[in-house]
Amino acid sequence: MENIKIRDVRTILTAPEGIGLVVVKVETTEPGLYGLGCATFTQRSLAVKSAVDDYMKPFLIGKDPQRIEDIWQSAMVSAYWRNGPVLSNAVSGVDMALWDIKGKLAGLPLYQLLGGKCREAAAVYRHADGRDRQEVLEHVMALREQGYRFIRCQIGGYGGRGHTLHTPEQALPGAYFDPAAYTRSVIRLFEFLRTHLGSELELLHDTHERLAPIDAVRLARDLEPFRLFFLEDVLPPEQIDWFRMLRSQCATPIAMGELFNNPREWLPLIQERLIDYIRVHISQIGGITPARKLAILCEAFGVRTAWHGPGDVSPVGHAANVHLDIASHNFGIQEWCGLSERLQDVFPGCPQVRDGFVYPNDAPGLGIDLDEEQAARYPCENRLPQWTLARLPDGTSVRP
C-alpha cells in the first residue's frame, strides 16, 4: 500500500487488575489499519499520557507509519533531552504500534519480520513468594506441578518482611526493611529450598536494588553454593562500577537492567561481560526498535536476554517481549506474571502459556488487540505508590 499516513494517535489507560496500564493506538488513513504499543510507566501514567497526546501526536500526524527507524530516531531527539522514562515510554508506545502496523501490512507476525523463529516458544519464570520458607516451598511446588521449571523465590517481598525493626521516635512513613536480616533470611531460604527440592529446578532471586554495594557482593557470593539461575538487579544503576568487584568475587549469574534508561548504563556491563542477562523494561528504553538492537549487541558478548515482564507491563508489551524472545538467538528466559481472564478479555489475542513455555499467536503484527469498551470498565486511579518508599530501620530513605 502506498501513501498511507498516520491519521491519529491516542493513549488508552486501563487497570483491569488494579495496575495502571498505558497503551498507545496509532491509526492510519487506511480504514481499519492501526497498531498498538505499550507505554506503561505505572507510577507516572498521566505524565506519559500527556507526552503522547500533547507532543507525540502533533509530531506524528501525517507521517508515513512504515518509516519506523526514522520516526524512532527523530522522536528521541525531538525534545532535545532524552533517555528519560516518561518520554521513552511515550516513544515506545508509538514504536511498538508502528511495528504492529508493519506486520499487518506484511500479513506476518512480528517475529517473522525480526528474522523468523529461533525456537517455537519461550521458557518463562514465575514468582513464588511467601510469609515463611515453608509457604515459599509450597508455592514453588505448586508452580512445578503446572509445568514451570524456572521460579523466582522471595520471602516476604522485596527486602523481606516480619523482621524486628528498631526505629527512632517519629520515624517517617515508608516501606521499612532491615538489610542484614533480609540477607540472612535469603540465604536460609535457598538452603531450605535446595534441601527439599534438590537441583532439579532453576531458582532465581530478586534483591530489587535493596542492598549497599558491598552487602550485595557478599550476598551474591554466599548464594553461590545454591546455584541460582540468576540473581536479579543486585545493584542500582548508580552503582554499576561495583559489578567489577562482584564478578571477581563469585560465579553467581547476574541479571540486570530493570531501571535502565540510558545506553551508557548497560554498555559497560555488556562490553566487559559483567552480567549474564539483560532484563530491561522494553518500553523504558523506547520500544522494539532499541530492544532488538540491544539483543544483537548482547549476542556478540555472550549476554542473554531476560526482558522485564511484571504486572506493570501491558499484555501488548508482553506480546512484544515474546516476539523478541522467539526471534533472538541469545534468548535466556522471560519473566511472566500471568495474564488473568479479565486481562485477556480486555486484550484479545494474548500470548498463551503451556507447560512453562509462552507461545505467540500467528496473527499479523503483535497479534493482540484491545477492546476499548472493556478497557473503559477499569479506569486507572492516580495514586502515588508506597512500595517505592524504601527506608532503613533508622528512617533513611534508600533506593529504589
**What is d(CA 192, CA 28) in angstroms, rounded to the nearest whole number?**
56
Question: Which of these is catalytic: 127, 139, 205, 208?
Answer: 208
Q: Find cell 535466556 and name the residue.
A: 332
E strands in 39-114: none
DSSP state of 55: I
One of 111, 158, 182, 378 is an active-site residue; which one?
158
Please list the residues that pair with 277 across neighbouring strands: 255, 304
Cell of 134: 515453608
- The secondary structure element, H or E, covering residue 224 is none
At residue 173's C-alpha, the angle toward residues 161 and 312, to 5°, is 65
Could you confirm whether 158 is annotated as catalytic?
yes
Candidates 187, 176, 173, 174; CA nearest to 215 is 187
CB atoms near residue 194 (< 10 Å):
15
**Residue 241: Cβ within 10 Å count:** 11
CA distance 384 to 366: 31
Residue 248 and residue 274: Cα distance in Å, rounded?
A: 9
Per-position DSSP letters for 345-364, written without gaps between them? HHSTT--EEETTEEE---SS
C-alpha count within 13 angstroms, C-beta hemisphere, residue 128: 28
- Note if 308 is an active site residue: no
- The helix or strand, by DSSP H or E, that contains position 202, with its residue range, turns out to be strand 202-206
Active site residues: 158, 208
